Amino acid sequence: MVNIVLYEPEIPPNTGNVARLCAGMGMTLHLIEPLGFSLDDRHLRRAGLDYWPLVDLAVWPDWPSFLERGPKGRLVATSARAGTRFSEYRPLADDVLLFGPETRGLPAAVSSLAPLVLNIPLRPGVRSLNLATTVGFLLGVALSRLGGGPE
């Protein structure tokens, strides 16, 4: 099963929307601290609606802890500016999709550990997509190529 990882997310509603997506699709959501908000944040809770009891949530104190004890599938990083075009992505069932903080993206030291970095090309003048939109987009690509979502 594909895992979703948000590395040091900063904006509560984005994380809440991703949590709702993970609840609906049956994916584990991994959050790597430090977070830019409290897990009790009302905007986070509101974006996740009443689905929080259905979210398989793992919170990691730091990147090394996640690497040591987190899921062992293929690490697939994302970048707004470089990498393999999403249309060439051939997902594996145990892929670990890694997304960076909204304002700065993944540090090079983190993304360099991934054997695959995915990119969604954008038209000139557009810096990036919303984090929750990007997660939904790439998870949709992965699930469609793996044969669907939850049963």
The DSSP code sequence of 23-88 is HHHT-EEEEESSPSS-TT-HHHHHHTGGGGGG-EEEEESSHHHHHHHS--S-EEEEESSSSEEGGG
Q: Can you give the pLDDT at residue 44?
A: 66
* SS3 at position 129: coil
Q: pLDDT (tens digit, 9 = 90+) per residue, 123-147? A: 999 888 899 999 999 999 999 999 8
CATH number at residue 97: 3.40.1280.10
Q: Can you give the pLDDT at residue 127?
A: 84
Q: Average pLDDT, stretch 65-78?
A: 96
Residue 151 lies in a domain: no
Residue 80: band (very low, low, confident or very high) from pLDDT cuts 50, 70, 90: confident
Q: Can you give the pLDDT at residue 106?
A: 93
Provide the number of structural domains found in the chain: 1
Q: pLDDT (tens digit, 9 = 90+) per residue, 95-134? A: 999 999 999 999 999 999 999 999 989 899 988 889 999 9
Q: Can you give the pLDDT at residue 10?
A: 94
Residue 98 lies in a domain: yes
Q: Average pLDDT, stretch 17-23?
A: 93
- 12-25 vs 131-146: helix crossing angle, rounded to 10: 20
Strands 28-32 and 56-60: parallel
Domain extent, residue 81, equals 3-146
CB 43 within 8 A of CB 16: yes
Q: Can you give the pLDDT at residue 47?
A: 59
